[in-house]
Structure 1
Amino acid sequence: MKIQQIRNATIIVEIGLYRILVDPMMARKDALPPLRLFGARQRNPIVELPDSTPAVLNAVTHCLITHCQKGHFDHLDRAAKKWLRDRQIPVICSPHDAPHLAKQGLNIQPLPENHEQPNLFLGGTIRTIKCTHGKGLIGKLMEHGVGYFIEMPGEPSLYLAGDTILTPTIRDFVLHHQPQVSVVPAGGAQFDFGDDIIMGIDEVVEFTRLKRGTVVANHMEAVSHCPVTRPALAKAGKLAGIDQRLRIPADGEIMEFTF
């Protein structure tokens, strides 16, 4: 299995003959609006896509969307919708998101209604895990989405957490299933009020301590409401003694994982 960090939450997972694009945000730098109303109203994304992106996108066979409604352009923006629609790439999504994506003209392949149970997927299985994209008032305004747990013959098990804070549901899932590779959001995203809406440094460290496998941290240094930096997370990981299992890829970096 190979995972290439593209930008923000956008990655490409290579499993056998398949190249799975996850949560694509394809806009040029500064093409999207700010995510805060007060203070420095920086437009998004704050960095360009890696130069290698057009070439690697040509090999994409499928797409996975964790959430996309209520204005979550950092997981599926207008440029990505056009790209997927023009190529009619199969888009796997939750039953909740299926009607919304169908209206965009995408080639959707929604998971069955019993999506919390394992379902057949590209010769293996896939299931969803509930995300909690913030609590309290801000949580009521958010689109919470799902994460995905993928198991394929001869490959490490893979957990794509989606946009979430660390919850009892996720703790229980990780302790029980012990995914060999997990990709988690680590940017500590915040709006003008309320607590973090995705994991930050402390929760990434706690998540990594729950499991024996490798943790890949992304969703950093690409959108303006994520204050956590790669160096800060790396320093915390080293102090916590988990740096050997915590990967913090640069945009464009390819990581390879085996049993």
Structure 2
Amino acid sequence: MSQFLTLLQKEILEMWRNFKWVWVPIVFIILGVQEPLSTYYLPQIIDSIGGLPEGAVIEIPTPAPAQVLAGGLGQYNMMGFIIIILLCASLVAGEVKNGTAAMILVKPVKHGNYIAAKWAGALLLVWTSFFIGFLVTWYYTGLLFDWVPFDTFLGSFFIEGLWLSFIVTITLFFSSIFVVPGAAGFLAAAVAIILSLASSSLSHLLEWSPGLLPSYASSYLVEESLKRDGVIAITLTVVLLFILIFVAIRIFRKKELAA
């Protein structure tokens, strides 16, 4: 356990040195503030663009606060998705490629602790950044529209956070298998996109799919409750996270021993 904590401290320090603890939260804050501001000022934006017939009046109904907050989640599903893959694709593959992993593992360091520390450090960064960004979304939504109950906000945050954790884990999984970070990032993106599209298209058959977590997070904001299928999807996702990390450790250990 002490070895894992030492490696985790190394990961956190390394992310400070690379300014990841600065730029990732800032990007998530920018993503978080976009939806409530753009929705609130949409009439003024349309009016400033011009090109409408003289005397034309556009009446845009005021959206419900929960809908604005759900729209904010969409920003994390798109841009946040890309940021996480770019962030995690080189976590293991990059260190294997430049020889850093070999220098660390030549010491009495367990492969499991090495991968687990990478995973925990990435999750800590992503969850912290997402909480700050989504909290900004919630604050500006309340300020400009109306307040969504904070416990509802937390429930939605947890569900969406599990989806982002799945992206982190699947990217780290491929990063542990391939030496080239680009290949790891491409495969992680492909798996996540295919899973999301398949889950959305066949939602009546794949209610338990992790790919539907963003949908469950949005619906939780509106309905303030989670259906049985959502609970199953959450449970399955948590199980998959640990399975993926376990398999990643086994594959990485065999690959290193073979090398």
TM-score, structure 2 normalization? 0.23
Structure possessing the higher relative contact order (Cα contacts under 8 Å, 6 or more residues apart)? 2
Greater percentage in strand? 1
TM-score by length of 1: 0.23
Larger Cα Rg: Structure 1 or Structure 2?
Answer: 2
Q: Which has the higher helix share?
A: 2
